[in-house]
Structure 1
């Protein structure tokens, strides 16, 4: 199942900030990171304010990593509105 999501410049930045630590953590653990790497490249290559198709697996990965980023920021008492906005777009 594919779903179209509109990515603004800010949302692209938030997604990349969420996915990068996950990618490097998984890589350090010796896990396969090919799919995460492809998703990072896909998001990075998209023009801002355009709709893009994402698979259910890609959306699940984005939700998971954004939620991790949001929870890390909340635990530090940091601002999370941008991550919250992006999570709402994915639901």
Structure 2
């Protein structure tokens, strides 16, 4: 099942910032990074302020990694407004 999400320039940046550590963590652990790598390339290639279609698995991965980024920021006492905004778009 596909779902369309509008990505602003800021949201693309947040997604890439959240997915990169996950990609490298999976790589270090010896797990497959093919799906994460494809998603990173897909997001990076999308023009800003356009709607893009994503599979449920991709949305779940984006939601999980952004939530982790948000929790890391909260633990450091940093603001999470941008991450919260992106999470709302994914629900």
Which TM-score bucket, shorter chain as reference?
A: over 0.9
Runs of 4+ more than 4 Å apart = none
Q: Which residue of 2 aligns with 1:58?
A: 58
For 1:79 and 1:15, locate their aligned partners in 2 and report how far apart those are by CA, in whole Å.
16
For 1:83 and 1:38, locate their aligned partners in 2 and report how far apart those are by CA, in whole Å.
22
Structure 1 runs not aligned, ≥5 long: none
Q: Which residue of 2 aligns with 1:71?
A: 71
TM-score by length of 1: 1.00
TM-score by length of 2: 1.00
TM-superposed deviation, 1:26: 0.5
Superposed CA offset, 1:1-57 (max 9, x none): 100000000000000000000000000000000000000000000000000000000
Partner SS state of residue 4, structure 1: strand
| Number of residue pairs aligned between Structure 1 and Structure 2 | 91
Q: Which residue of 2 aligns with 1:32?
A: 32
Q: Which residue of 2 aligns with 1:2?
A: 2
Structure 2 runs not aligned, ≥5 long: none
Q: CA RMSD in A?
A: 0.2
